[in-house]
Amino acid sequence: MPNLKSCRVLVTSRSYAQNDPQLRTELESTVGDVVYSPADHPLSSSEVKDLLPGCHGYIAGLDVIDRTALEAADQLKVIARYGVGVDRVDLDAAAEMGIVVTNTPGANAASVAELTVGLMLSLTRSIPNANAAVKAGEWPRLAGMSLKGKTVGLLGLGAIGKQVARRLRGFGCIILAYDPMADTVFSEAYDVQLRPQHQVISQADLLSLHLPVLPETRGMVDAAFLSQMKPAAFFINTARGELVDEGALLEALQRGHLRGAALDAFREEPPGPDNPLLALPQVIATPHTGAHTDGATNAMGWMALRDCLAVLRGQEPAYRVV
């Protein structure tokens, strides 16, 4: 078995060990050296490139890990993605270099689902605007929309989409879903009606994204997509900002075709202060915080740590991507 005390591990996820210090203790006592990210943001390719030389393991946040960055990895054996998305990792380059890539599927599903439902309620009951008005000395009579009897559309019925459906069941709404590999057993058990994608888009009063970033999904929420949505519908994205054409979304909101939107993900993160979506009162914006709960960060941390150490020990990881 390889001597792990001779290994160096880079950790760039900002929430690693945030809620469970044992994660840090376990890693630091097992390997010889741990390098933590000096930045408070996801790293660029050049920043990753500067940190990778001499590292054997890499517990990675939302960094850009492209071929240029990986060319500096002279010792790297494993990239353990702290989260499920691997679209910012050059999987082909990693495979060519013999670097194992893992992720943490399902670890944050419940937490992202809870945020999704919270954003739906915030939109339909104007909770942020009501809060701001009362604190400003006002007492407005705001007209809300009940979820009961409304149609909620879920694009993606994987781990997170399923958790959203479970929670929505108690609200008495109609749940439609599209997924290219839909789980029919789950759908029948939780009264989820599987429909073609265009029907989910056109019939939903609230439409929520739960899809990965793939060549066929990148930028899918464009002007044509948004024009299919029901007038005065709400749009929720707790998946990835790369799925959305923000200019098209802005136009749909400004002309009133959509009643509102809640966005936990943006194409540029953090979005610039001049991003026009942030100026719209009908837009709720959160800082990609879906997975930032104690339960989710702990689960992701332990899954990433175990797979990182498994590869360094010459063992097969539980959640290999490549």
Q: What is the CA radius of gyration of the chain?
A: 21
HEC letters along 35-90: EECCCCCCCCHHHHHHHCCCCCEEEECCCCECHHHHCCCCCCCEEEECCCCCCCEC
C-beta separation of 177 from 227 below 8 A: no
Structure tokens at 159: 């781990």
Helix 21-30 with 294-312: angle, nearest 10 deg: 10
Encode the chain (322 residues) as per-residue pLDDT tens digits.
Answer: 578 999 999 999 989 999 999 999 999 999 999 999 999 889 999 999 999 999 999 999 999 999 999 999 999 999 999 988 899 999 999 999 999 999 999 999 999 999 999 999 999 999 999 999 999 999 999 999 999 999 999 999 999 999 999 999 999 999 999 999 999 999 999 999 999 999 999 999 999 999 999 999 999 999 999 999 999 999 999 999 999 999 999 999 999 999 999 999 999 989 999 999 999 999 999 999 999 999 999 999 999 999 999 999 999 999 999 9
At 179-218, the pLDDT tens digits run: 999 999 999 999 999 999 999 999 999 999 999 999 999 9
Cα distance between residue 117 and residue 50, in whole Å: 40
At 121-139, the pLDDT tens digits run: 999 999 999 999 999 999 9
Question: What's residue 85's pLDDT?
Answer: 85
Catalytic residues: 240, 269, 288
3-class state of residue 128 by DSSP: helix
Domains of the chain: 4-107+293-312 (3.40.50.720), 109-285 (3.40.50.720)
Tell me which DSSP letter residue 182 carries.
-
Question: What's residue 84's pLDDT?
Answer: 86
Residue 178 CA neighbour count, 13 Å, CB half: 16
Cross-strand partners of 284: 262
Q: What is the pTM of this model?
A: 0.88
Question: What's residue 2's pLDDT?
Answer: 74
3-class state of residue 176 by DSSP: strand
Question: What's residue 1's pLDDT?
Answer: 57
Question: What's residue 121's pLDDT?
Answer: 98
Question: What's residue 43's pLDDT?
Answer: 96
